[in-house]
Amino acid sequence: MSLTVNVKKRFPAFQLDVRFESSASRIGILGASGCGKSMTLKCIAGIEIPDEGEIVLNERVMYRSGEKICVKPQKRGIGYLFQNYALFPAMTVAENIGAGLKGSRQQNRERIRDMLHTFRLEGLEERLPGELSGGQQQRVALARIMAYEPDVILLDEPFSALDQFLKDRLQQELYDMLRAYTGTVILVSHDRDEIYRFSEELLVMDQGKAVTCGRTREVFADPGCLEAARLTGCKNISRVKRTGTRQMDALDWGICLRCRREIPKEIAYVGFRAHEFVPVWGEKKENCIRARLAGSAELPFEKNFYILPENEQNQEKLCWFLQKDKWELLREKGMPDYLQFAEEQLLFLS
């Protein structure tokens, strides 16, 4: 499977300008609400028509403005799972699953029966969507998509309206059901944990544009730019002034950071994830900040500490998150004197 998306579309509030290529079977699109994620899916599906560009799936052109090619949505071989599942409320489960089938009556009956079995919906054939749980509705919506064997499935924030317990359970159910699917699945979400868990490749979007794209774990490890760092959960970000090939001033933290690796000339910010600090008791080491506590919060599985920067004019606190398995060390030794920025964990950002 291969997918190429290069589209532009103007809207009153912003301009969509997205370019990416992928051959991964599981693609995630991460971004804040209103950044253009869902609109990108709608362009791929043919629900929205871009102003210019192209969309190519497995060397089959779905849209190309220069050649005036625009394949109709129903002919693209793409299944779209909407946030609210978009089931027909007056149709039974079996009727919903068979709504898009084009075979003979017998073929359609057999296909519906297969989908009822695959998605564990047997016994619910005659129920209406309003009589189903959220998880059952999701399975019906996915069964309807899978019934006509699309090349691509688009998942548009399918868990956004659920509480955390139900979300975790339905995520796992959905991933299990998709395990045997050999096509491409694109998941849109503003939830970084959801994206990290699901996707092989990741596209990060901000204000209508793709800001970075790559293997999911590589993007999280090295976001490369400010917007991607924030969206992947980096809590500590400072403006920097590069003072040498291996030295820079973190202006918002009030500390000079020295590195063994070369600092890129185009660096504008440095990031550091809240879980990566190394606590130091006693003598100050290189790349350390005083552990002056401004506040804290205890959660079920971690403690969050908010640390004053060395630059006291800056009101932005640094975040240090300590997971539960390390609480005992703190009980034994007390708060550390310093927190060290592990050099290999510094994120160089443009």
Q: What is the pLDDT of residues 185-213, one digit of tens each?
A: 999 998 898 899 889 999 999 999 999 99
The whole model's pTM is what?
A: 0.87
Cβ(170)–Cβ(202) under 8 Å? Answer: no
Structure tokens at 53: 């560009």
Q: Which residue has the tokens 């688009």?
A: 154
Determine how many CB atoms are found less than 10 A away from the CB of residue 177. 17
Q: What are phi and psi of 48, to 5 degrees?
A: -115, 140
Judged against a pLDDT cut of 90, whether residue 127 lies above it is answered with: yes
Most confident listed range (5-19, 256-270, 313-327): 256-270
Angstrom distance (rounded) from CA 272 to CA 244: 20
Query: Which domains does the chain show, CATH number per domain?
Result: 3-223 (3.40.50.300), 236-349 (no CATH)
Token pair belonging to 265: 């000339």
Q: What is the mean pLDDT of the chain?
A: 92
For residues 148 and 341, give the distance between their C-alpha atoms in angstroms, rounded to a whole number: 53
pLDDT of residue 349: 98
Percent of the chain with pLDDT over 70: 99
CA dihedral 117, 119, 125, 128 (to 10 degrees): 180
What phi and psi, each to the nearest 5 degrees, are found at residue 171?
A: -60, -50
CA-to-CA distance for 117 and 114, rounded, in angstroms?
A: 5
Instruction: Categorize the per-residue pLDDT at 104 as very low, low, confident or very high, splitting at 50, 70 and 90.
Output: very high
- pLDDT at position 11, please? 87
pLDDT at 209: 94
Which range of 48-52, 115-119, 183-187 scores highest in mean pLDDT? It is 48-52
Arithmetic mean of pLDDT, 253-259: 96
What does the alpha-carbon distance between residue 333 and residue 328 come to, in Å, rounded to a whole number?
A: 9
Give the full edge-to-edge strand order of the sheet including 302-307. Answer: 293-298, 302-307, 318-323
User: Does residue 160 surpass a pLDDT of 80?
Assistant: no
Question: Does the pLDDT value for residue 182 go beyond 90?
Answer: no
Instruction: Report whether pLDDT(139) > 90.
Output: no
Pairing mode, if any, of strands 184-189 and 26-30? parallel
Helix (H, G, I), strand (E, B) or coil at 192: helix
Alpha helices in the chain (DSSP H): 37-45, 93-97, 105-118, 134-147, 164-178, 192-198, 216-221, 226-231, 327-333
Q: Which of 170, 120, 186, 118 is nearest to 146 (CA)?
A: 118
Task: Give the pLDDT mean for 70-92.
Answer: 90
DSSP conformation class of 67 = G
Give the neighbor-by-neighbor strand order of the sheet with 338-340: 278-280, 338-340, 288-290
Model confidence band, residue 344 (pLDDT cutoffs 50, 70, 90): very high
Residue 163 pLDDT? 65
Looking at the predicted structure, is the pLDDT value of residue 181 above 90? no
pLDDT tens per residue, range 279-318: 999 999 999 999 999 999 999 889 999 999 998 777 789 9
**Contact predicate 121/147, CB 8 Å:** no
Contact 321, 266 (CB under 8 A): no
Task: Write down the pLDDT at residue 162.
Answer: 64
